[in-house]
Structure 1
């Protein structure tokens, strides 16, 4: 691209923005070297780099490239066996660290090619990197940990210095020597400990003079008592320096072996920093990667000039190259014509440099061989040329160099000379360019160029909008309509009389008046159509919003319906659970009735049940005589004594009177393990025991005996929950105990041991249980519990 074009389009300002986005000095240098390419392969590659960088920044925050120094010259010295300073060794460690971190971050990003590909070529050596940072503290200091020998030498040096200080300190504090000293301090000269001695006392402090004060009144003397100690210290310091040199040489040799890989790291990291700078600039400008077309055309949607404040810039929409190849823009001064030219030119240069451009998706651009721009009104002072001559000189150069795949931007073509000659010249220049089918944008004030655009195939008018009411431009580009001068309307708004304006109109030709009136009518129709379009868009948007609201309401209604059904199901489930819980509670309460059987109302319930049983049995032909109940019930007791043994017909068991309530005619009777309140009339005398034996042979006794014969010696509760198993085992044990079985087996399985533990805890509280134990070999093992009754 020619330098003049780059300057007038302010391409260097974009480069400065790109340079600011680079993290390292090498990256900034790379940014300054960017240029616009006319190779489609190169442009595609560069744009893809920028897109990948943008993606990494948005997803991962970028790559950890913070500092990078060009030490390739030092690497060359190390390669040929020379020693490099510790500062450069430290920089090698930093390069290795950056390479390792960049590789780690870039390799973990999917769906990218260029940046991970570059990062995969980075060389890393964690072991060397770690040793460098352990050994080197700064560009001037080696750590004690650089080697065990260096650590030992420095420890010896510290000990020697402390011994010297102790020795020389004792000399300072002695009364004999202190009076000869200028000051009671220890100082150093030529790396040796010395004392400041008054010059007149030179002979009183034997030793070596190393220096004299500027006034000449003080001698700095190394006492003979510490000369040998200082000599030893000097030897140790020399050993320290030798060890440091050895360490540096070892590092230099090791770096020399990989100098090529380190140099390649510098090159790759510089390239990555440059690519990431392009991504940062893209995000900063809210730019995108436009589509690339091979039809030599530009389609721009909401393009923004990248150097204008985003808050004030007016987006540009236009096409060039498909239906027309020449676009002539007319309109008032400061209306945005030149900005439109610069926007298209600068975005084209950015695009061909591999940078994203600030526009909307759907934009499409092509690759130009060259971009020519003649913009500005500067005079060529050096060549003593006028504005017209300066522009014409440049246009002549453009016409001589242009080819069919170029872009030409011409600002105020033909201006600076006689309007008639200037407009004729402008038309002939545009026609010459049009015949070669070169994409061209030109701005002008000449009406003749508007007519040219109306009558020539491949040429289109455009204008920048001007608001007559506010007398200010809107900077909006309107393609397809030539610009109206608005001189008469503006003058009238500013207060010029109608007579003068009418006189001015009289100087216009009839065709010129018709043209102005036609443009005015077109402008009015355009505004009306735009207003109607906005109304339609607004109405469509409202309809769309209502449709979306209806869809949302429908979805919400469906969701609410499903929610209600779900809630109903949950409530039904809760009711069922509550019912089950309540029924389980009732069963549990009934199962525990023996604990509450002492209550009088329970006794009544038992008697009611007994009556129902008797009635039911009678239906099946069982009579009281058969059951033996008539004889027993007919001879009930009217009174009892504490300690008296009685017979309880309802249980067919003997009982013992524990206490008596004569008011209620009730007695607390112990029947086996149970204690129960019973009315006197429900009890019989002990002398009926014989009858009991007979009853056991028939009636209730026979029924109980038959039942006892049906009780199994084991119960299986495997697979039950604890509560259900507890009820089942309690019921079974009661029946087994009443049947007279001495020992039973409860089968509960092993599993999680929940049933076994729960059943064991239950058996502890049962009074009629003599003992229980896990099953032995052949009995079922720990999967069963053997229970013995009292």
Structure 2
């Protein structure tokens, strides 16, 4: 792409924003060198990556901070057998730790193909990280735990240094020696512990003079008794240095043995930093993925220039390439013409760089091989070129190189010279570019170009709306309507004498007056059409609102009717059951009485009456069953495990746990209860019926029982995080709102890994240490979201 075009369209400013958002040095370098591509396959691939990153960030939050340096130079040194310095090793360690953090963050990539594949490139480096953690406190300090030999050497050094201090302390406390000292203290010069001796008593303290005061009155002496100990310390210091060098070599060799895995992880992290930077920018800008084509079609919906404040930017709708190939925009200065040009050009550049655009869904952009823009005052003082000459120089370059895969953006075409010649030249240039198959958007003040656009095939007029009442531009782009000449109207509204305005109008040509009248009529019809459309939309919304209210009222009526019906059935059932119980007792009493009286005829008559009563009860029960089943009764067919069913006897919806046996008995789970029921007691449930049932009962169905805690003690961080992730999903669907994770105290590594994971989990509202009686720091109490 032409560098002048990139700068004119402010592409470099967007790239600078993205560069500053990127966290790693390699990602910043990528954005610094990023230029638009013309390869549609490559563009689609980049947009696919950003699309996955965008959706993942929306669902699971922003990733961990991917701040790291370029470790490739150090990595290559280790492969060649060189010893890395602490800084290089710690930079590599940072990348290795981030590899673990990002693997944990990317624990929900089942439906994200690209992120799943890149997660597979992130290695497991526990051995190296553990070795480095035991070795370094910082770049400047190696830990005693780096090796047993180093620990032993340092313990010897500390003991010898302690001996020196003891010797010197003994001397400065001695009354005889104290009078030879300037002060009874131990001083340090370099790494030596010395005594401040008065110069006149030089021969009283036997030792080596290492320094003297500025006045020469004080000599700093190392007593001979300490010199031998210092020599031993010096030897040990050299051994310490050699041991540290050996440790660094061992770690460098260990890093070299993982060269391929570390390099793969590094490139994966750089790629993720780039993708998530683009995704987070898209989220902040409310940007969308454009639909791309190679047919020269541009169709932007509610496009918003990203460098204009969100609260001030006016969205524009603009299209090109389907019904027309050349768009000529007219209108007043500061009316938004140049912003429109820049928005279209910038969006094409962003799209071809794999970056989303701030517009509405469904916006389309063409992949152009070349994009040229002649925008702004490019006057060159050095070359002594006028504004017109500078623009013409750009246009000459454009006409030479443009073809049918080119987008050309021309601001104030033909300006800066005689209006008649400028308009003629503008027509010729636009015609020439159209013949070459270019897509062109041009802005102008020339009224003749409005007529030209109306006459030429595949040309179209557009204007930036101006409110003559408020004397302010609205920045709305109106395609199909040329811009009006508002100079006379504005002058009149500002208070210019009416006679002057009328005199000026008399100097206008008849053609100009007629054109202005036509534009005025078109603008009036457009406003009437917009008002009619707005009214229609308002009426449509009102109708939809009324319909929704009617449907809601109807639904409430049906629910109330069903409630009353069920209540009546239940009351009738209770009455029948109570009557049945009372009559049964009455029959028992009568039977006993008849037996006592030995009246067989009475017994026979009682049995007949009982059978008749039982037939009556059965008839009533059947009638109740028919009434109860009038709405949802559906005999189960092809029962399968997990199927939703309604259990009549419990008046509840559940899920089939086991299939019916030979007698038709099966297990159904309702909430956390598993019930044995007969197939005759269940019905099929449609989705709408289930929703209505849940709404009426105001309960949440749960698939299985979930414990209030999970114990991951003794597990690795990765395994523990997988178990915790599954447990949190089960706990949430099981309706739990607070759970406990038991990880133990130990070294704190497992606890910290779990807490880092919980920070980014979408179901976690908050977490804390356990209190006294809950397990304190050996557990983490997690509160789940509602």
* Distance apart, 1:329 and its partner CA: 0.9
Question: Which residue pairs with 1:489 in the alignment?
Answer: 489
Q: Superposed, which structure 2 residues align to 1:146-161 within 5 Å?
A: 146-161=146-161
Q: Please identify, of 369-378 and 155-164, the stretch whose mean Cα deviation from structure 2 is larger.
A: 155-164
Question: Which residue pairs with 1:247 in the alignment?
Answer: 247
* Distance apart, 1:574 and its partner CA: 8.7
Question: Which residue pairs with 1:206 in the alignment?
Answer: 206
Encode CA deviations 1:252-305: one digit per residue, 9 max, x unaligned.
Answer: 222233345434433332222112111111111110001112321111111111
Shift of the 455–563 alpha-carbon distance from structure 1 to 2, 3 Å rule, reads same
Contact 1:30 1:270 in 2 (8 A): no
Question: Which residue pairs with 1:106 in the alignment?
Answer: 106
Q: Distance in 1 between matches of 2:336 and 2:581?
A: 83
SS in 1 for 2:210: strand
* Distance apart, 1:463 and its partner CA: 1.1
Q: Distance in 2 between matches of 1:300 and 1:190?
A: 72
Question: Which residue pairs with 1:340 in the alignment?
Answer: 340
Contact 2:402 2:436 in 1 (8 A): no
* Distance apart, 1:482 and its partner CA: 1.1
SS in 2 for 1:338: helix
Shift of the 574–155 alpha-carbon distance from structure 1 to 2, 3 Å rule, reads farther
* Distance apart, 1:123 and its partner CA: 3.4
Question: Which residue pairs with 1:420 in the alignment?
Answer: 420
Q: Superposed, which structure 2 residues align to 1:448-597 within 5 Å?
A: 448-565=448-565
SS in 2 for 1:203: helix
Encode CA deviations 1:471-526: one digit per residue, 9 max, x unaligned.
Answer: 11111111111111122221221122332222222223333222211211221121
SS in 2 for 1:252: helix
* Distance apart, 1:564 and its partner CA: 4.4
Question: Which residue pairs with 1:141 in the alignment?
Answer: 141
SS in 1 for 2:301: strand
Shift of the 210–565 alpha-carbon distance from structure 1 to 2, 3 Å rule, reads farther
Q: Which runs of 5+ in 1 are unaligned?
A: 588-608, 622-790
Encode CA deviations 1:692-733: one digit per residue, 9 max, x unaligned.
Answer: xxxxxxxxxxxxxxxxxxxxxxxxxxxxxxxxxxxxxxxxxx
Shift of the 615–130 alpha-carbon distance from structure 1 to 2, 3 Å rule, reads closer
* Distance apart, 1:165 and its partner CA: 2.1
Q: Please identify, of 101-110 and 169-178, the stretch whose mean Cα deviation from structure 2 is larger.
A: 101-110
Q: Please identify, of 74-83 and 92-101, the stretch whose mean Cα deviation from structure 2 is larger.
A: 74-83
Q: Distance in 1 between matches of 2:594 and 2:564?
A: 51
Q: Distance in 2 between matches of 1:413 and 1:154?
A: 79
Q: Superposed, which structure 2 residues align to 1:321-720 within 5 Å?
A: 321-565=321-565, 617=596
SS in 1 for 2:275: helix
Question: Which residue pairs with 1:283 in the alignment?
Answer: 283
Q: Distance in 1 between matches of 2:157 and 2:566?
A: 84
Question: Which residue pairs with 2:36 in the alignment?
Answer: 36
Q: Which runs of 5+ in 2 are unaligned?
A: 601-786
* Distance apart, 1:35 and its partner CA: 0.8
Q: Please identify, of 246-255 and 33-42, the stretch whose mean Cα deviation from structure 2 is larger.
A: 246-255
Asked if 1:84 corresponds to 2:84, the answer is yes
Q: Please identify, of 10-19 and 207-216, the stretch whose mean Cα deviation from structure 2 is larger.
A: 207-216
Shift of the 568–215 alpha-carbon distance from structure 1 to 2, 3 Å rule, reads farther
Q: Distance in 2 between matches of 1:489 and 1:188?
A: 89
Q: Distance in 2 between matches of 1:140 and 1:579?
A: 93
Q: Distance in 1 between matches of 2:480 and 2:312?
A: 25
* Distance apart, 1:569 and its partner CA: 6.6
Shift of the 613–15 alpha-carbon distance from structure 1 to 2, 3 Å rule, reads closer
Shift of the 618–505 alpha-carbon distance from structure 1 to 2, 3 Å rule, reads closer
* Distance apart, 1:408 and its partner CA: 0.7
SS in 1 for 2:333: coil
* Distance apart, 1:572 and its partner CA: 7.5
* Distance apart, 1:223 and its partner CA: 2.3
Shift of the 363–575 alpha-carbon distance from structure 1 to 2, 3 Å rule, reads farther
Contact 1:304 1:359 in 2 (8 A): yes
Question: Which residue pairs with 1:674 in the alignment?
Answer: none
Contact 2:403 2:437 in 1 (8 A): no
SS in 2 for 1:211: strand
> Rg: which structure is higher?
1
Question: Which residue pairs with 2:293 in the alignment?
Answer: 293
* Distance apart, 1:567 and its partner CA: 5.8
Question: Which residue pairs with 1:63 in the alignment?
Answer: 63
Contact 1:65 1:102 in 2 (8 A): no
* Distance apart, 1:578 and its partner CA: 10
Shift of the 157–557 alpha-carbon distance from structure 1 to 2, 3 Å rule, reads farther
Q: Please identify, of 81-90 and 440-449, the stretch whose mean Cα deviation from structure 2 is larger.
A: 81-90
TM-score, normalised with respect to structure 2: 0.72
Question: Which residue pairs with 1:96 in the alignment?
Answer: 96
Shift of the 582–293 alpha-carbon distance from structure 1 to 2, 3 Å rule, reads farther
Encode CA deviations 1:237-256: one digit per residue, 9 max, x unaligned.
Answer: 33322222221121122223
* Distance apart, 1:65 and its partner CA: 4.4
Q: Distance in 1 between matches of 2:577 and 2:597?
A: 40
Encode CA deviations 1:382-440: one digit per residue, 9 max, x unaligned.
Answer: 22111111111111111111001111111111111111111111111111112223111
Q: Distance in 1 between matches of 2:594 and 2:81?
A: 120
Contact 2:78 2:256 in 1 (8 A): yes
Q: Distance in 2 between matches of 1:186 and 1:255?
A: 45
Shift of the 380–229 alpha-carbon distance from structure 1 to 2, 3 Å rule, reads closer
Q: Please identify, of 342-351 and 382-391, the stretch whose mean Cα deviation from structure 2 is larger.
A: 382-391
TM-score, normalised with respect to structure 1: 0.71
Shift of the 129–569 alpha-carbon distance from structure 1 to 2, 3 Å rule, reads farther
Contact 1:193 1:230 in 2 (8 A): no
Q: Distance in 1 between matches of 2:491 and 2:179?
A: 104
Contact 2:294 2:368 in 1 (8 A): no
Contact 2:128 2:255 in 1 (8 A): no
* Distance apart, 1:46 and its partner CA: 1.3
Q: Distance in 2 between matches of 1:565 and 1:615?
A: 43
Question: Which residue pairs with 1:116 in the alignment?
Answer: 116
Encode CA deviations 1:344-398: one digit per residue, 9 max, x unaligned.
Answer: 1111111111100011011111100111111113322122111111111111111
Shift of the 575–237 alpha-carbon distance from structure 1 to 2, 3 Å rule, reads farther
Q: Distance in 1 between matches of 2:581 and 2:185?
A: 95
Shift of the 456–263 alpha-carbon distance from structure 1 to 2, 3 Å rule, reads same
Q: Distance in 2 between matches of 1:200 and 1:4?
A: 80
Q: Distance in 1 between matches of 2:93 and 2:510?
A: 83
SS in 2 for 1:219: strand
* Distance apart, 1:620 and its partner CA: 5.0
Asked if 1:4 corresponds to 2:4, the answer is yes
Q: Please identify, of 500-509 and 290-299, the stretch whose mean Cα deviation from structure 2 is larger.
A: 500-509
Shift of the 143–565 alpha-carbon distance from structure 1 to 2, 3 Å rule, reads farther
SS in 1 for 2:116: helix
SS in 1 for 2:84: coil
Question: Which residue pairs with 1:310 in the alignment?
Answer: 310
Contact 2:171 2:177 in 1 (8 A): yes
Shift of the 479–615 alpha-carbon distance from structure 1 to 2, 3 Å rule, reads closer
Encode CA deviations 1:626-671: one digit per residue, 9 max, x unaligned.
Answer: xxxxxxxxxxxxxxxxxxxxxxxxxxxxxxxxxxxxxxxxxxxxxx
Encode CA deviations 1:123-176: one digit per residue, 9 max, x unaligned.
Answer: 332111111012111001111111122222222322332233223212211212
Aligned length: 598
Shift of the 618–32 alpha-carbon distance from structure 1 to 2, 3 Å rule, reads closer
* Distance apart, 1:91 and its partner CA: 1.6
Question: Which residue pairs with 1:626 in the alignment?
Answer: none
Q: Distance in 1 between matches of 2:513 and 2:189?
A: 101
Shift of the 578–300 alpha-carbon distance from structure 1 to 2, 3 Å rule, reads farther
Shift of the 198–533 alpha-carbon distance from structure 1 to 2, 3 Å rule, reads same
Question: Which residue pairs with 1:646 in the alignment?
Answer: none
Q: Distance in 2 between matches of 1:272 and 1:581?
A: 75
